[in-house]
Amino acid sequence: MDLTINSQQRCFEGTQGFYSHDSAICGGAMNFAVYQPPQAKDGAKVPMVTFLSGLTCTEENFTAKAGAQRVAAELGLMLLMPDTSPRGCGYPGEDDDYDLGSGAGFYLDATQAPWSARYRMYSYITRELPALIAEHFPVDAGRQGIFGHSMGGHGALTIHLKNPGVYRSVSAFAPVCAPSQCPWGRKAFTAYLGEDETLWEDYDSCALIRRQPSDAKIFIDQGAEDPFLSEQLKPDLLVAACEDAGQHFEFRMQPDYDHSYYFIQTFVEDHLRHHAKTLT
């Protein structure tokens, strides 16, 4: 599979790159960013942690604002930052709402037209993109973790729960914990997956945990002043599901923090150390 290098820059003695490629699964060009730590050289393969971003984001937000490269360089972790959706599909309404279409792929495989042709972020993130990365970067595919923010926290949790042997460590910042039960999730799932809510459970962390908890520890930070906390994120539902199902978890409510990258940059080091504990 071919890869276009859009830029590569030295950062903490490693390499921060932005790339694009033609995705077969998403039916068009897709962008992503990779940070290669300094340990990734002379043929050495390193573990990789994928970060999934939230609504409206691209591959650049976390890359530029989280301060994660410093910690990844210390721990020897590769970071993979995918975009949040296909772009420029030309579907009606694709760019009308911040919470549907462009920038709002929700890390699922859409089954409803027109989205089903290209909005297949679940298969893209779990199959096509890792294969491309393994071909072009010195990654140890047996040591992968996943984390994310908001919509991307939902993505990280569900992708881990459905692939616990591949994504062996998981964490999230302010995740959408129960998309079937919040406005963002219900709107997106209705459009992408249709009206039959039983089919939504396959992309709902709470439902997945109750069905089959994983052996990993789910690590979550949530800002207590996050404006989306009670209406959209609903971590209480995830905590209840974990407790009921015996899922190992650590949930930290962080007083005074909000939903922004100033919150993420404060705690990103704790998250990467959580992943490194399993992966290195």
* Site residues, its own copies (CB under 8 A): 9-13, 16, 64-65, 67, 69-70, 223, 225, 254, 256-258, 260-263, 265-266
Minimum CB separation from its own copies for residue 58, in Å?
Answer: 15
Which positions ≥6 away from 87 have C-beta within 8 Å?
A: 28, 29, 31, 102
Task: Give the catalytic positions in this structure.
Answer: 150, 226, 259
Nearer to its own copies, 192 or 267 (CB): 267
- What DSSP character marks residue 117? G
How far is 190 from 221, CA to CA, in rounded Å?
Answer: 28
DSSP 242-265: HHHHT--EEEEEETT--SSHHHHH
CA distance to 19, 32, 33, 48, 49, per residue, from 5 (Å): 5, 10, 10, 19, 20
Nearest in space to 5 (alpha carbons), one of 114, 105, 126, 132:
132
Minimum CB separation from its own copies for residue 173, in Å?
Answer: 14
Nearer to its own copies, 112 or 265 (CB): 265
Nearer to its own copies, 97 or 258 (CB): 258
Which positions ≥6 away from 248 have C-beta within 8 Å?
A: 213, 215, 216, 217, 218, 242
Minimum CB separation from its own copies for residue 256, in Å?
Answer: 4
Minimum CB separation from its own copies for residue 261, in Å?
Answer: 7
Q: Tokens in use for 129?
A: 């993109």
Nearer to its own copies, 244 or 270 (CB): 270
Question: In this structure, what are the phi and psi dihedrals at residue 58, rounded to the nearest 5 degrees?
Answer: -120, -170
